[in-house]
Amino acid sequence: MTETVAPDIRAGISTDILIVGAGPVGLYGAYCAGFRGLRTVLVDALPECGGQITALYPEKQIRDIAAVPTARGRDVVAALKDQADAFGPTYLLGRQAVGLAHTPAGRVRVTLADGAVVDAGAVVVTAGIGTFSPRTLPAGEEFLGRGLSYFVPAPEEYTDLDVVIVGGGDSALDWLLALHPIARSVTLVHRRSGFRAHAASIREAYECGATIITDAQVTALTGDSRLREAQVRVDGEDQVRVLKADAVVAALGFLSNLGPLAEWGVELDRRTIVVDTRMRTTVDRVYAAGDVTAYPGKVKLMSVGFGEVATAVNNAAVALDPALSLFPGHSTEASA
């Protein structure tokens, strides 16, 4: 995917809206800002748009977008970027936002890790879970890259393999459902009897015929140059089960870190940013949307993030020019 990147911003760049985070929510925010005629810059520490989806789940099926029953992650990102690109936003990718200050005129100045400065009328933070690293599987870390992995960028690589998936969240169930039709066998191992995944995915997993072992943990991985077996201890059983395992996918979630954003003075609720109903943070002219935010009743779905970033951008637009209407109008009313 070719990105439009500012050629040289050592002297600084000025914009109406700066979006920190070029994942799905950030990309939709760029569209919303562009629709209102606002100049927009997106900055992201990752080298490509798409956030976690591009980095970890490009082939994963996304099912929580209205009117899109299912679509590959990479296709969702491509469509969102095409939508944003209609208004020509500037992408500053592979560049981390680190510092924030206000000018005497009330504008926001964000400093990037390379020393460049973006001067913006308002900032919208759509950083997802921030920087992330996978929770490791204590057993068999030495097989990382030799059968053990923490995500599935290319499902076809698991064709005709015996696969063990560890975990009980949405990712674990999604990978079970994606790999079961092509793998020789798929076994899910979860340390509890309850799952943290969508009810429909759990039901489908049990109905598809995959082996599901609950109240159990993978205690060791064995093999030679490649992984061959996984040892599983099940609560209440005296004998350790030995499973054939050409591949183990440890879908145990990720450790997140807001990094420098945590030093911007915004109110935090653990690792999320507190916002009000306008998606405003406690720092003037700084808004937030998507999984990075916290408020009572928050539901972490991509579709919710789309609504939040639309709210943030439109409220930011009014903050920039109080004469503007909060409601941007319908896209069907825009001239072609």
- Which among 177, 178, 145 is positioned nearest to 247, based on CA atoms? 145
Sign of CA dihedral 174, 175, 176, 182: positive
To the question of whether residue 291 is assigned a binding role by annotation, the answer is yes
**Inter-residue long-range contacts of 224-232, CB under 8 Å, 24+ positions, other chains counted:** 225/146, 226/146, 226/147, 227/140, 227/143, 227/146, 227/147, 227/148, 228/147, 230/140, 230/164, 230/189, 231/139, 232/189
Q: Domains, the chain, ranges and CATH?
A: 13-132+254-333 (3.50.50.60), 136-250 (3.50.50.60)
- Listing DSSP states for 142-197 in one string gives GGBTTTEESS-S-GGGGTT-EEEEE--SHHHHHHHHHHTTTSSEEEEE-SSSS--S
> What whole-number distance in Å separates Cα of residue 197 and Cα of residue 194?
9
To the question of whether residue 52 is assigned a binding role by annotation, the answer is yes
Q: What burial letters (b/e) apply to 111-122, b meaning 16+ CB within 10 Å?
A: bbeeebbbbbbb
Residue 76 — φ and ψ, nearest 5°?
Answer: -60, -45
To the question of whether residue 332 is assigned a binding role by annotation, the answer is yes
* pTM, to two decimals: 0.83
Q: 177 exposed, middle or buried (CB, 10 Å; 0-12, 13-18, 19+)?
A: middle
Sequential pLDDT tens for the chain (336 residues): 444 444 455 558 999 999 999 999 999 999 999 999 999 999 999 999 999 898 878 888 888 899 999 999 999 999 999 999 999 999 999 999 999 999 999 999 999 999 999 999 999 999 987 777 788 998 989 999 999 999 888 899 999 999 999 999 998 999 999 999 999 999 999 999 999 998 999 999 999 999 999 999 999 999 999 999 999 999 999 999 999 999 999 999 887 788 999 999 999 998 899 999 999 999 999 999 999 999 999 999 999 999 999 999 999 999 999 999 999 887 766 654
To the question of whether residue 150 is assigned a binding role by annotation, the answer is no
Residue 70 Cα to chain centre, angstroms = 17
To the question of whether residue 97 is assigned a binding role by annotation, the answer is yes
Task: Output the six-digit token pair for 41.
Answer: 């810059």
Tell me the residue type at 335. S
To the question of whether residue 35 is assigned a binding role by annotation, the answer is no
**Inter-residue long-range contacts of 204-210, CB under 8 Å, 24+ positions, other chains counted:** 204/173, 204/177, 205/173, 205/176, 205/177, 208/176, 208/177, 208/180, 209/180, 210/176, 210/180, 210/186
To the question of whether residue 96 is assigned a binding role by annotation, the answer is no
pLDDT of residue 336: 44
Sign of CA dihedral 70, 74, 78, 84: positive
- Which among 53, 44, 52, 5 is positioned nearest to 22, based on CA atoms? 44
Do 243 and 229 touch, CB atoms closer than 8 A? yes
The residue behind tokens 């759509």 is: 126
End-to-end Cα, the chain, rounded Å: 26
pLDDT of residue 8: 54
